[in-house]
């Protein structure tokens, strides 16, 4: 595929610009923090530091701002992607990481002590596209979606796309794939879905926070992918629902396991999340059995060390951290719907409460 070099450079600049925006999008009035600063040596127990999921960033920005107003607690959150958030937690340079994928065995083994996962929200990964001439909402089947991201379908007027979009006039525009360039929980949700619905994808590419993409351009964070799609005619990329809505970007209906084409929404994510939550909360919502559920949905987690006495951390700092997370999964859920996140189910909140109560300081429970 040939690209105009000027347009290509412009796309990369746009993606970088959007990614830079994410780094200063911190809630609660906290400023940016260097990755080399240790939380235990910051000298400021009133500023909690987190990093990770860009999927969560719109919600976290609101929650941390409101928590600061109510409690005076500052939270400096860096939207750097789930993989980077887990790395910073591993290196103990943040109080918490945030990820749209639970930690895997390799990541667990890199930790100096056990970590715990607290679900904080559920949301939709949507397929946003840049086709100004198409006024109808596109529909995508699992087969079509896999073939597009495998590079097997290269034009928007391909017969397979047309077959699930009858009466829609599709252009002959070349498809340009936009995907994440960083380690990403959003990528994990999307590739887990593709691996479930496509044997070819599962065999050739697989699932994970970082994969070898067959085709496409990479953007850093949900912000970077949104920027690539918005700036590139013919582009399609996967982003969190809030980014598509905030940027007035169209997004497709996706056919679920029951054969229904589902619009991503709070209701359809809630339907997908209406499942039994295991004690460790590590569960996937993709390819839901729910007839009205959106099939590319996922939980997001805050991850912290179970034992909070490390690197000279104070009990006060540990207590403030747990109180913040407890507020997020209770009172903080009131801000979810307006930002197009699905509020946690009672079962998810209950599981989160139980995990928070397991956190200790010097072996003693922090929350009673």
The pLDDT of residue 19 is 42
The pLDDT of residue 46 is 81
The pLDDT of residue 45 is 63
The pLDDT of residue 41 is 41
Q: How far apart are CA 322 and CA 309, in angstroms?
A: 13
The pLDDT of residue 6 is 42
Q: Give ∠ CA 354-360-361 in degrees, rounded to 5.
A: 155
Q: What is the pLDDT of residues 23-80, one digit of tens each?
A: 333 333 333 333 334 454 444 568 999 999 999 999 999 999 999 999 999 999 999 9
Residue with tokens 């590079």: 151
**Second-level CATH architecture of 15-123+299-365:** 3-Layer(aba) Sandwich (3.40)
Q: Compute CA distances 346 → 71, 278, 281, whole Å.
A: 25, 13, 13
Q: How far apart are CA 156 and CA 284, in angstroms?
A: 30
Do the domains 124-272 and 15-123+299-365 match in fold? yes
CA-wise closest residue to 80 among 209, 207, 203, 168:
209
Can you list the residues of the chain whose pLDDT is less than 50?
1-38, 40-43
Return the domain boundaries, the chain.
15-123+299-365, 124-272
Q: Compute CA distances 306 → 39, 53, 102, 117, whole Å.
A: 16, 20, 15, 9
CA-wise closest residue to 305 among 47, 52, 116, 106:
116
The pLDDT of residue 368 is 81
The pLDDT of residue 306 is 98
For residues 85 and 56, is the Cβ–Cβ distance under 8 A? no
* CATH fold group of domain 124-272: D-Maltodextrin-Binding Protein; domain 2 (3.40.190)
Q: What is the pLDDT of residues 339-356, one digit of tens each?
A: 999 999 999 999 999 999
Q: Which residues contact 57 (CB under 8 A, 6 or more apart)?
A: 22, 25, 77, 79, 222, 223
Q: How far apart are CA 253 and CA 269, in angstroms?
A: 13
Q: Compute CA distances 203 → 157, 195, 196, 207, whole Å.
A: 27, 8, 11, 10
């Amino acid at each position: 595929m040939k690209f105009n070099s000027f347009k290509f450079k412009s796309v990369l600049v746009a993606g970088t610009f959007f990614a830079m925006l994410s780094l200063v999008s911190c809630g609660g009035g906290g400023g940016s923090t260097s990755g080399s600063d240790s939380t235990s040596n910051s000298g400021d127990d009133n500023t909690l530091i987190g990093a990770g999921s860009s999927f969560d960033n719109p919600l976290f920005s609101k929650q941390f701002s409101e928590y600061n107003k109510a409690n005076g607690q500052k939270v400096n959150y860096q939207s750097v992607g789930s993989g980077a958030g887990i790395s910073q937690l591993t290196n103990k340079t943040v109080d918490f990481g945030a990820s749209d994928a639970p930690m895997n065995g390799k990541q667990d083994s890199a930790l100096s002590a056990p970590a715990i996962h607290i679900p904080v929200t559920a949301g939709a990964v949507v397929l946003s596209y840049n086709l100004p001439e198409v006024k109808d909402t596109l529909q995508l089947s699992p087969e079509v979606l896999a073939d597009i991201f495998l590079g097997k379908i290269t034009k928007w007027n391909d017969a397979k796309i047309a077959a699930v979009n009858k009466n829609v006039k599709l252009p002959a525009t070349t498809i340009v794939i936009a995907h994440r360039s960083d380690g990403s929980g959003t990528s994990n949700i999307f590739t887990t879905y593709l691996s479930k619905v496509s044997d070819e994808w599962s065999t050739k590419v697989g699932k994970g926070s970082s994969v070898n993409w067959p085709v496409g351009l990479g953007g850093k964070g949900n912000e970077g992918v949104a920027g690539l799609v918005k700036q590139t005619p013919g582009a399609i990329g996967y982003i969190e629902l809030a980014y598509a809505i905030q940027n007035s970007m169209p997004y497709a209906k996706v056919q679920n396991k029951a054969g229904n084409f589902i619009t991503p929404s709070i209701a359809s994510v809630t339907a997908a999340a209406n499942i039994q939550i295991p004690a460790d909360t590590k569960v996937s919502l993709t390819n839901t059995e729910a007839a009205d559920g959106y099939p590319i949905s996922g939980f997001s987690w805050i991850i912290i060390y179970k034992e909070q006495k490390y690197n000279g951390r104070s009990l006060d700092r540990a207590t403030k951290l747990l109180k913040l997370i407890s507020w997020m999964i209770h009172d903080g859920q009131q801000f979810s719907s307006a930002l197009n996140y699905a509020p946690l189910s009672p079962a998810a909140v209950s599981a989160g409460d139980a995990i928070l109560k397991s956190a200790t300081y010097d072996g003693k429970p922090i929350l009673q």
